[in-house]
Amino acid sequence: MPKPMIPALAQFLAATAGRNMTKAAYVAVTVGVLSMVLLTLNPAYETAHRWVDLLLWASLAYFVFEWLVRLRHMTRQRRLALYMSSSAGLVDAVGALAVPVALILGAEPKTAWLLCVLWVLKVVPGIPGLRQLRRVLVFESGPLISVLVIFLMVVLLASVAEYFLERDVQPQTFGSVPAALWWAVVTLTTTGYGDVVPVTPLGRIVAALVMISGLGVFGLWTGILATGFAAETRRDNFLKTWESVSKVPFFAALGPAAIADVTHMLRTMELPPRITIIRKGQQGDCMYFIAAGEVEVDLPGKKVQLGEGAFFGEMALLGNNMRGANVSTTKVSRLLVLDLVDFRVLMARHPDLAETIDAEAKRRALENK
Ligand SMILES: Nc1ncnc2c1ncn2[C@@H]1O[C@@H]2COP(=O)(O)O[C@H]2[C@H]1O
């Protein structure tokens, strides 16, 4: 018998605490935050205030319900303290309590509902690549902090210089170092509001230097983050491929160093069922190892299934470069792809593997005659 909807939903919400958001939570965040934005729009809010209020209360009710369900679930699991002190627990608590507490404390409703902007924090665990970003920030913290220190140094030097050069001509805007600091930050970050502008010749020369430094500082930041991300993605791919390679029996006899070597040459590909990977008659530029799943080779008069650990697509690389049959997936499959150049390198570096591939290709060619 299907479970009643509310208990089933409650069980699901409890189990997803601290993980990616549920679809309902995405809807509640979007509806809630958009309604909050409408609340600040006049006269639109005045005309539709019943609907906007209803949507705001409905979103809040969802988050309160979700929080209570999770509290109950964690109490039963004896993990309440852990949940309440985790970032997910804090975000859930803030999402459920911020607006009601502000209303109870007597804040004006239009002000209290602004706090529902905090619901966007719920989206954080679902952001793809967040773990990668965190790791990049940790690994690259040294260079990033160095750039930050350079930024602060230039800001301070420039603002003192501009204060000295401009204070007599523009006492209103450059009359103190903090006032000049505002100009320095706006200029160095390349924002350039243009509300405060040096007018003396020397002041302008300093400004030009600050603008050029700004480009350099931001170029450095971007460069450090971009290379950090690229390195992190490479590491992630390597780990994923390593895991698959070590599971393929074909590579099992290799030592860890050789597996690492092979892993550098392979890339992973995830495919759904019924996808054609190889078409007969096309040029062959890579071969495949099956890490998981199954493929079917469509030969004249028969179909051959190849499962986990098998390889295919080697015959074109060893022969006349032409694919001899159609090959497609029959199940969800994870394949390791070896490009032609790396295939040659692999064959040269690992003669035992080369022999196995060669022998299997010859056996298949005989079988197909
Ligand atoms: N008899 C067979 N048994 C298993 N696989 C085969 C057989 N014949 C061909 N194949 C595979 O199907 C692939 C089609 O592309 P290739 O010719 O590059 O390489 C071929 C082999 O890897």
CA of 252 relative to ligand 1 center, distance in Å: 22
Give the pLDDT of residue 144: 95
> Which residues lie with the beta carbon below 6 Å from any ligand 1 atom?
278, 284, 297, 299, 304, 306, 312-316, 323-325, 327, 364, 367-368
Architecture of domain 5-126: Up-down Bundle (1.20)
What is the C-alpha to C-alpha distance for residues 211 and 314, in angstroms, rounded to an integer?
Answer: 57
> How far does the centroid of ligand 1 lie from the alpha carbon of residue 313, in Å?
6
Q: Token pair for residue 110? A: 């239009």
Ligand 1, closest atom to CA 284?
Answer: 18
Q: What is the mean pLDDT of residues 262-279?
A: 94
Domain boundaries, the chain: 5-126, 141-231, 250-368
Mean pLDDT of 151-160: 96
CATH topology of domain 250-368: Jelly Rolls (2.60.120)
**Quick check: 174 and 204 in contact, CB under 8 A?**
no
Q: Which atom of ligand 1 is nearest to the CA of 287?
A: 18
Q: Which of 312, 314, 367, 369 to mutate to test the pocket of ligand 1 (most atoms within 8 A of CB)?
A: 312
Q: What percent of the chain has pLDDT over 70?
A: 95
- Residue 18 has what pLDDT? 58
Q: Tell me yes or no: is domain 141-231 CATH 1.10.287.70.
A: yes
pLDDT at 4: 60
Assigned token pair, 208: 């030009």
Residues 6+ apart with CB under 8 A from 271: 277, 293, 329, 332, 333, 334, 335
For residue 326, give the ligand 1 atom closest to its CA: 14
- Do residues 59 and 38 touch, judged by C-beta distance below 8 A? no
Rounded Cα–Cα distance for residues 340 and 223 (Å) = 32
Residue-level pLDDT at 299: 95
**How does residue 1 score in pLDDT terms, banded at 50, 70 and 90?**
very low
For residues 109-123, give the mean pLDDT. Answer: 95
Rounded to an integer, the average pLDDT of 234-263 is 85
Predicted confidence band at 250 (pLDDT cuts at 50, 70, 90)?
A: confident
* 301 CA distance to ligand 1 middle (Å): 14
Q: Among 321, 327, 366, say which to mutate for ligand 1: greatest number of ligand atoms within 8 Å of CB.
A: 327
Candidate from 278, 288, 318 with most ligand 1 atoms within 8 A of CB, to mutate: 278
> Ligand 1, closest atom to CA 368?
1
pLDDT of residue 20: 59
CA angle 230, 148, 189 (to 5 degrees): 90
pLDDT for the residue 247: 79
Q: How confident is the model at residue 253 (pLDDT cuts 50, 70, 90)?
A: confident
User: ipTM of the predicted structure?
Assistant: 0.99
Closest C-alpha to ligand 1, atom 7: 364
- In the chain, DSSP assigns E strands to 266-271, 276-278, 286-292, 295-299, 302-306, 311-312, 326-329, 333-339
The answer to whether residue 170 scores a pLDDT higher than 90 is: yes
pLDDT band for position 19 (cuts 50, 70, 90)? low
Does residue 251 carry a pLDDT above 90? no
